Amino acid sequence: MDTSGSELSVLSAALKGAGIRMTHQRIEVFSELQASHGHPSVTEIYEGVRKRLPSISPDTVYRTLRLFSELGLIIPHSSTSSVTRFDVNVHEHHHFVCTRCSRIFDFTSSSIDPLEVPREAESFGEVQGVQLEVRGICRDCLRRERTQEE
């Protein structure tokens, strides 16, 4: 992913469209998200931003992340864990979730994407997208477990 220039223009366009001011704090939170390349938690974003903006409060970070997700810049990841994570990847993709370290890996699949939404799911309301969650143990955790057994 290339650095700030084009990504910041995405942020400024989204804020402008919603009539919201582009502040230094919002820019910093956004840059931290872009640098994370994954599915950071609120705490991870806060810890990162705090290094550059020591005065920022966790509450401000949380509210900024909520704002960004309302603007469609990030997607809150609903997972079974109690930690709220945000997905920086807003394009259609699926997840491999490690049940040991709870890391989330993105993947795309040409065989899943054409799947029809089951009628049973449609009965709950309006469908906005389909995301598959594959659960398992990631390679790092497998390797760790194997070396412990030896």
Question: To the nearest whole angstrom, how small is the minimum distance from the Cβ of residue 43 to Zn ion?
Answer: 18
Mode of pairing for the β-strands spanning 104-107 and 133-136: unpaired
Rule CB under 5 A: is residue 101 a binding residue for Zn ion?
yes
Nearer to Zn ion, 32 or 87 (CB): 87
89 binds Zn ion (CB under 5 A): yes
With CB under 5 A as the contact rule, which of the stretches 16-24, 84-92, 110-118, 122-130 interacts with Zn ion?
84-92
Pick the closer one to Zn ion by CB: 15 or 74.
Answer: 74
Between 49 and 88, CB nearer to Zn ion = 88
Q: How would you classify the pairing of strands 94-98 and 133-136?
A: parallel
Judged by CB under 5 A, the chain residues 118 through 147 that form the site for Zn ion are 138, 141
Residue 29 near residue 65 (C-beta atoms within 8 A): yes
Considering the complex, what minimum distance in angstroms separates the CB of residue 138 from Zn ion? 3
According to the 3-state scheme, what is the secondary structure of the chain? Answer: CCCCHHHHHHHHHHHHHHCCCCCHHHHHHHHHHHHHCCCCEHHHHHHHHHHHCCCCCHHHHHHHHHHHHHCCCCEEECCCCCCCEEECCCCCCEEEEECCCCCEEEECCCCCCCCCCCHHHHCCCCCCCCCCEEEECCHHHHHHHHHHHC
106 counts as binding Zn ion under rule CB under 5 A: yes
- CB closer to Zn ion out of 47 and 106: 106
**One of 98, 112, 130, 144 touching Zn ion (CB under 5 A):** 98
Closer residue to Zn ion in complex, CB, 18/132: 132
Contacts with Zn ion by CB under 5 A lie at: 87, 89, 98, 100-101, 106, 138, 141
